Every structure is written in structure tokens, then in C-alpha cells.
A and B are shown apart, each in its own frame.
Chain A
């Protein structure tokens, strides 16, 4: 692509790209990590083969796009211009899909989304209930773009906001706009972005640095990954606008090493932006010079904490430092630094394009705009969901998420990753915004939303999080290092049926102590999963302690496996998979589990068709 020499040339290029757009049909297949895992690469390969075989390569376009969000039904695709939405596509469907495009777009019925309630087939993506309630201002373009082609982004209006800012805004006006929009940090804490930027501008120290935190460490959250994979230029544009507003010359994007595809797409995007004259010296012929560096994390959860992340960029161990001084005062190499999350940066061009007031009109009194959640766990429609702030949990779970699978009962929703807390099913009408969640003992966090049904044990879940946090505690400060270990030990004891009533008091006391005395955000929020489950599910803890029972039948020391002789048809399937040769019985006769040998791995339940394996 040619180098753009002035902000106006962006608009010209966009018009030119629009004009050259053909009316050729285009099959755009989601090639995000989720759909790739479901076999998208094979689907694309067989589509390509089919097109070549029928000599249609110049008649029908084929495109790999970013994540559409509906991972559950992957691989998904949209056939343009009719915008027909197909889900659960496999290699063998290539023939039918190409044939349908050639036969006047008569859709392939079996690949259309089937509404589980009405049984009807749905033709378009926006009519699928999963999408119908969403407001996708950050993720909307993911399904349209080839993330490795900057022209696709420019065609949908990309870099328009940057051009606008460079010609019509002073840096102060950009900060003012961001402030007025009410945008709050999407990384979890929810600090007002404009206020942070303003604080940095007060410092006279130069140089200033910009950092994009893409160290999405919270288990159960993957929206930053999807945005970087699917629309990396939107993040880059936001960062460049930030560079203009903050008068910085360099930015660092810190991406987790666990996201290889995001790293690849982002580095391609940075190179393309450099070639197009959007990064480097004299951006778009102006006086502004700006560079973005990509830094890969090396696998440490604590590096999501801003001071630890800065240390990691500097090549040191990722240990946090006490604040103040805050990074805006003393950040990277001791210089003023603004750190924002991926989605925060991607929101900036939207605010510039649509206006601060438009953005502020979405959401609730104090939480503006949209929030992206990863809706996962025991839920029918798993995937990424972008909704206006203030939507209720009920709408999220039943309307968008399609309810709980297998007719099970909702028990709790864990929001905000290991720093967040569990919200019980009884509070399902809670509106989702920063304040409401904090009040309920949880937090927005990065937006991970793990749904749990009656088969999830809350003690086990708390134990799981403590194990995670104990492993990931960097060890610098005592309360977090020792405290997380002690909490884990106590929870282990309880889940083994060896807990005492005093343990519950101890969990509570120690939890608050860790919260109040830890050095960084990791320790200060670490006890949340324990404290919130204690608050809402104390009866489950008590059942483990008093009755030595795990009501959800999860904790291995407290359960026994048995085969119901009246149901077992003696098919031998369980005998074959049993890891410890604990199942006895001849073929076609009811089997029996030798409880002394059984290691409770659950393999038999997985394979038993008549559901004869019972857990007590």
C-alpha cells in the first residue's frame, strides 16, 4: 500500500476502496482461536479447493476474519452480500455452500442457526438471539475484516478518527472528549480514563510513555485476545490518538505469550500501519512521530498488575511496586506513563467518531458505554458478548446465553476472574455496572463471566481460585504470599471433610487481613472468591464440615461411585475406560464398582449411555 501523506488521504482512500468494491459474493469464515480449534482452517482449505475445482476463484471471494464471538457454534461464517449466517460448519459442507451461492443464494438449511426454543432456522446473524440483544460497537467489525489487511479496516472507516483528531483537535480537546465520554478503564478497576490522561499531562517530565495492557491473565476471559486477533488496527488507532493527546512518542503493547495468533496479527498490523505512514516519523505528513513496540509476556499472572507489567517490559522480574507514585507520575524507566487496557484503547476512536455525548448516552449513571463479557461455563451459548452497561444478569444468562444446559439449575455467576466474586442465582436481576458488582462483593474485572450450575461445588471453586492465586503470587509481600497458602490449606482441609467450624472464622479473618495489607491488586483482591462464597454459600461450607458431604458431588474425598444394577445393561464400556480396574462384572450382566480400588476419576460416567453410574 502507498504511504498516506495527509489526514485527508485516509478519507480519499476509503472512498476509493468503497468504489472498487465488487458485488462479488464473499464467504467470510471466522478464523479466531475458537473457531480454529473447531476446525476453521480445514473448512477454509476445503472451500478454497472447491472454488478452484469449479473455477470460481475469481467469482466468489473467500476471507478469513476475526472472532464473531459465538464460539459455541464454531466454525461460523457469513456469506455476503446476503449476510447469510452459518454455524457448526464442517469440511464436508464446502460443496453445498459453494453450490448454494451459485444457485441464487438458496441457503443451506442445515447450517443455519436453529433457535432451540422455536425450532426455527434463523437466516441472519443479527436475528440470532445470542446477537439480538448485543450492542457491538467494539466487536461489530470483527466479522467483516481480514485482520491482516489494513485496507479492510480503512474501508469501514478505520483511521478516520485519527485523521479527524490530527486536523481538528488540540491534544487537550482529545483528553476533554475522553473525559466527557465517561469512559472508564476496561482492565478491571474502572478508573476514569480521561482523568488518568489529564493527570499525566500535568507532569513536565519527558519523555512520556504509553502502554497497552494486553496481558489478559484472568482465566475465563478472552475478549482482548479476540479484539487483537480480529481487529488489531482499532487498538492501534486508539493508541496513536492517545499518543497525540498525551504527546508521547513511544508506546508498548504487552501481550501474553499464550496468545500466539494475537501476537502475529498485531505485529502484521503494526508493520502495515508503518508502511501506510500511520506510524513512524511525521505521521500523515504532520509533525507527530510515534512508534509502537510489541512486547511478549513470559507467563506470569501478576504482570497484569500495572507496576509489575512495567517492570517486565524493562526486562526485570514482574514484581509489583507500591503506589504512589502512580505510573502517570513515575512509570516506565521512571518516566510518566499511561497504561490502559486493550478495550479502553479501542474505545477511543469510537468516542472520537461518534462523539463523547453519544458514548455517554449508553450505559448507566456512572458506568458508560458497552462492556465486553466472555460468557462461559455451564451455559448454552458460550462466547463473547458486548452489551451496554446496566443490562441485568438475567438478560445476559437467559436471553443472550440461552440458559443453562441439560435443564440444570443456575447456582452462581462468577464475575471478574480470580479477583472477582460469586454472585448467587437469587441476585439475578442485578444490573451490571462497576458499582453494583462491587457492592455485591464481586467486581467487573476484565469481564470474565463464568456461569455455574448445581453441579459446581462452591468450596471446590474457592479452593481452585486459591490454588491459582497461591501459584501466581509473586512472593514479594508477606500477606499475599503466606496468606494465599494458608487459605488454600484450609480450603483443602474442608474439601477433604477434615474442616472444623473454626476454619470458617479463620477464612473470614485471614481473608480480610490479606485484603487490607497486601502490596498490590493481586493480593488485595485475592480473598474475594473465598469471602463471596462464604457470604452467599455458607451452607455448602457447613455441609462439608458438619455432614462430611459435598452437595454438588464434586469433592472426591466425600463421594462414592456406584452402579445401579437395575439400570446397567452390562455393555462393558465402563470396564474398558476404568483407569484403575475397579469395575467388575461379565458382559451383559450388571457391573459393580469396587470402592477400594476406585480413584473417582469419573471416566465411567462419561461413557455410560444408560446413565447407570451414580454418585453419592
Chain B
């Protein structure tokens, strides 16, 4: 089992009352904090909320925004909504996957990128689009623009390495 920093869990859980309806918001916070749902944390949540672990896993595996394995530093959401589809999104996706040497949507080995497909982020007027890190939307994508897009975040991803050597070694581990 990988090392998990459990110290972050308690302050996170304290923000919520121990009620079943808070299960999904808690999992969303955990996902944001750890970039995935570590097993140890799920066990703790199950105990605290008195929800059986099987049900915690049922919820964790049902919804798309949760992941049981660590996600990359940058999450690229390629929109495959209808408007993006008819304007060529599948080809842009293929290009991104090829450039990142991923056989299908998922996370790169160096944990820098996670490529996900989403069904509509509501920017249909600018199709095809991709959103990075839930914030930066890139409109009117073409295969030719993919290289530049990835480079922008690759550089960003590498920049902190020089500044914080310990974080870089952690990423490798």
C-alpha cells in the first residue's frame, strides 16, 4: 500500500457533520487533496460516517470524478460532447494520447498528465475544446495546436522541480 499522509484527513472531516449526505462532498474534498481516493482514507471515512466500506466504494466507483489511483499533476479533460464530436474532437483526443504515449485515456507514467474524456463542459460554441486543471479552457483545438498545448503544461510541470527538489523526488517515487 502506498504511503498516505493521513494528517490531512481529520481537519477535512471536521468540516462536515457525520451524515450520509456528506459522503459525496467529503469524497470530492479528498479527491482534490490527494488527487485520488486512498484506501486508508476511505476506511477512515467509512468508520467516521458509519457507512459500510462497501457502500463507500460503491459511491467511489460509481461517479466519474473519483479515482482510486493517483491522477497526474495536470488533468486534461478532452470534451467529447456532441458539438465537439462533430467538429473533430476524436481526432484531437487521438493526437493528445499519441503525443503523451498513452494507449487510452489515463495517467502518464511520470504522473504529469491525466487525460480524461468528458461529455460536454458547455463550451459548445468553441468546439472542439479541452479544459486543463478544471480552469483553463482551450477553444477551437486542432491537431496542430496539441503540441503547443502540451508543451505549455509540460514546462509548468517541470518548473517547480527545480525550485523544490524534494517534491520532484516524491513524484518519481
Contact = CB atoms under 8 A, between A and B. Distances in A.
B65 A220 contact: no
A281 B162 CA distance: 54
Given A259-B122, A300-B63, A602 B91 contact: yes
Interface string B60-72: 0011111000000
A315 B23 contact: yes
Contacts of A217: 119-120
Contacts of A560: none
Contacts of B33: none
A601 interface: yes
Contacts of A606: 142-144
Interface residues of B, number: 50
A603 B62 contact: no
A370 interface: no
B106 interface: no
Contacts, number: 161
Nearest to B118: A258
A607 interface: yes
A451 B118 CA distance: 20
Contacts of B127: 376-377, 382
A448 interface: yes
A182 interface: no
Contact of A296 (B28, B59, B80, B82): B28
B129 interface: yes
Interface in B21-42: 21-25, 27-28
Given A37-B123, A72-B125, A259-B122, A300 B91 contact: no
Interface-centre pick from B62, B95, B124 (highest chain A CB count, 10 A) = B124
B6 interface: no
A221 B27 CA distance: 27
Given A33-B122, A468-B119, A601-B95, A298 B135 contact: no
A377 B87 contact: yes
Contacts of A260: 134-135
B58 to A, nearest CB: 5
B105 to A, nearest CB: 12
A225 interface: yes
A258 B123 contact: no
Interface in B126-157: 126-127, 129, 134-135, 137-139, 142-144
Nearest to A381: B125
Given A37-B123, A374-B124, A601-B94, A317 B59 contact: yes
Interface string B74-92: 0000001111111110010
A314 B27 CA distance: 14
Contact of A38 (B81, B122, B126): B126
A226 B86 CA distance: 22
A93 B40 CA distance: 53
B20 interface: yes
A318 B60 CA distance: 11
Contacts of A71: 123-126
Contacts of B66: 298
B63 A219 contact: no
B84 to A, nearest CB: 8
A601 to B, nearest CB: 6
A579 interface: yes
A226 B19 CA distance: 32
Nearest to B147: A577
Contacts of A377: 82-83, 86-87, 124, 127
Contacts of A316: 20, 55, 59
B23 to A, nearest CB: 4
A318 B86 CA distance: 29
B138 A257 contact: no
B82 A464 contact: yes
B98 interface: yes
Contacts of B88: 602
A222 B123 contact: yes
Interface in A206-220: 216-220
Interface string A292-330: 000111111100000000001111111000000000000
B121 interface: yes
Contacts of A464: 82, 85
Interface-centre pick from A34, A218, A298, A374 (highest chain B CB count, 10 A) = A298
A11 interface: no
B82 A414 contact: yes
A376 B119 contact: no
B125 A602 contact: no
Contacts of B81: 219-220
A220 B126 CA distance: 11
Interface string A410-448: 000010010000000000000000000000000000001
B129 to A, nearest CB: 7
Contacts of B65: 257, 298-299
A216 B143 CA distance: 28
Contacts of A225: 122
Contacts of B98: 579
A448 B81 CA distance: 11
Interface in A282-297: 295-297
B82 A299 contact: no
B120 A607 contact: no
B19 to A, nearest CB: 8
A218 B82 CA distance: 9
Nearest to A600: B91
B124 A222 contact: yes
Interface string A50-81: 00000000000000000000011010000000
Nearest to A262: B122
A561 B28 CA distance: 46
Interface string A376-417: 111000110000000000000000000000000000001001
A456 B24 contact: no
A330 B25 CA distance: 24
A582 interface: no
Nearest to A383: B125
Interface in A120-158: none
A520 interface: no
A476 to B, nearest CB: 11
Contacts of A602: 88, 91, 143
Given A216-B122, A222-B124, A601-B94, A299 B144 contact: no
A261 to B, nearest CB: 9
A452 interface: yes
Interface of B: 19-25, 27-28, 51, 55, 58-59, 62-66, 80-88, 91, 94-95, 98, 118-127, 129, 134-135, 137-139, 142-144
24 contacts: A38-B139, A72-B125, A220-B82, A222-B120, A222-B123, A257-B65, A258-B122, A259-B121, A260-B134, A295-B25, A296-B25, A301-B119, A315-B23, A315-B51, A317-B58, A376-B127, A377-B87, A468-B119, A472-B119, A474-B62, A579-B98, A579-B143, A601-B95, A603-B91
Given A71-B124, A226-B122, A316-B20, 9 more contacts: A37-B123, A221-B124, A222-B120, A374-B124, A376-B124, A378-B87, A382-B127, A577-B144, A603-B144
**Ordered nearest first, which 3 A-B pairs have the shortest CB separation?**
A71-B125, A222-B122, A299-B64
